[in-house]
Amino acid sequence: MKITLIGCGAWGMAIAAHLVKKGHAVTVWAHSEAEAVRLTTERTMPQAFPGIVLPEEIIFTNDKKTAVDGADLIVFAVASPFTRTTAESMRPFIGEGKRIVTVTKGIEEGTLLTQAEILEEVLPGNVIGALSGPTHAEEVIRGMPTTIVSASKSREMAEFVQDAFVSEMLRVYTSPDILGVELGGSLKNVIALAAGMADGLGAGDNCKAALITRGIHEISGLAVKMGAHISTLEGLSGMGDLIVTCASMHSRNRRAGILIGQGMTADEAMKEVGQVVEGVYSAKAASALAKKYEAPLPIIEEVNLVLFSGEPAGTALSNLMLRDRKMEGRFSQEDLPECWRSDSSH
């Protein structure tokens, strides 16, 4: 089939290379003519993929109409702050009746919309899906095995994307819970910033494990209140993606967190990483969602204080450790032995 990638960042290019290996005709829209020409001639992304040559079969263009004409599937792979403006610029050429899947993870700060919700709003009349899971571009482009989730309100769409992407190196599951899949993929980036800060502080493996565990507790608590299914957050696009993002040096969010933990400001850390750090853009939105849905997100709130209020990472860690004492888990009163039943136990 003919597949168009909108965006030529690391994840988009890893997807393009994967799809070409499957025999699809792949066109990539680049944000500038100069970048389209450079990629066509040089076939390299040295900062993201040192030593990797991009497949000759990938077609690069800066022309929007050329990019999307006749596409069986359009994949949005631009950084989350640019999804809306890019979709608006593509609207005259996409029209209606297209299959569109987002592979970007993030929540829009002003509207609190997920990436798929932005596309539904800006590009009405199309079928929208989302792909998310533990898929670092640096490993996918090298053909290393992993798994991912294709989610959509439409079963036909989820299975269409599954068929387009599945291979012996990329196992693709389907899910009807597109909200849960997107929330897991977006909010884990904020937790990964916290995990990186802990690493920068030298807090150790025990602390990392605690942050991952309590982080999925926060994410799933909010997601369920928003209407997502708990099993989604326990799966690949929730716990799976959270683990790899908190543990891997491929993670821009973890790397930025490490630098912040070592004393850099958020701006300094992002400049040093040299790529978009999605968790910084999702952190404020996550805090706003917590207030809207009355969901406690203590880790994410401390990350916001570090990022935007100048709180030292060490102070944030101390604040988390010294919070009011709690019982672990979510128990109904009926689940508890009688001696444990009281409002103060939660």
pLDDT tens digits along 42-81: 999 999 999 999 999 999 999 999 999 999 999 999 999 9
What are the start-end ranges of the H helices in 148-297? Answer: 155-165, 178-201, 205-226, 230-233, 241-247, 252-261, 266-273, 278-293
Backbone angles phi, psi at 304, to 5 degrees: -60, -40
Q: How confident is the model at residue 275 (pLDDT cuts 50, 70, 90)?
A: confident
Q: 180-321 is classed in which CATH architecture?
A: Orthogonal Bundle (1.10)
Q: How confident is the model at residue 345 (pLDDT cuts 50, 70, 90)?
A: very low
User: What's the whole-number mean pLDDT along residues 178-187?
Assistant: 97
User: What's the whole-number mean pLDDT along residues 128-147?
Assistant: 97
DSSP letter (8 states) at residue 6: E
The CATH code that applies to domain 2-176 is 3.40.50.720
> Within the chain, which residue ranges are assigned CATH 1.10.1040.10?
180-321
Q: Which residues are catalytic?
A: 188
Q: Tens digit of pLDDT for each residue in 78-115?
A: 999 999 999 999 999 999 999 999 999 999 999 999 99
What pLDDT, on the 0 to 100 scale, is given for residue 271? 93
Distance CA 3, CA 23 (A): 11
Q: How confident is the model at residue 343 (pLDDT cuts 50, 70, 90)?
A: low
> Within the chain, which residue ranges are assigned CATH 3.40.50.720?
2-176
Distance CA 277, CA 193 (A): 9
Q: Tens digit of pLDDT for each residue in 211-237?
A: 999 999 999 999 999 999 999 999 999
Distance CA 307, CA 315 (A): 13
Distance CA 156, CA 25 (A): 21
User: What's the whole-number mean pLDDT along residues 136-149?
Assistant: 97
Residue 194: which of 290, 309, 314 has the closest Cα?
Answer: 314
* Span between the terminal Cα atoms of the chain, in Å: 53
Is the pLDDT score of 324 beyond 90? Answer: yes
Is the pLDDT score of 346 beyond 50? Answer: no
pTM over 0.75: yes
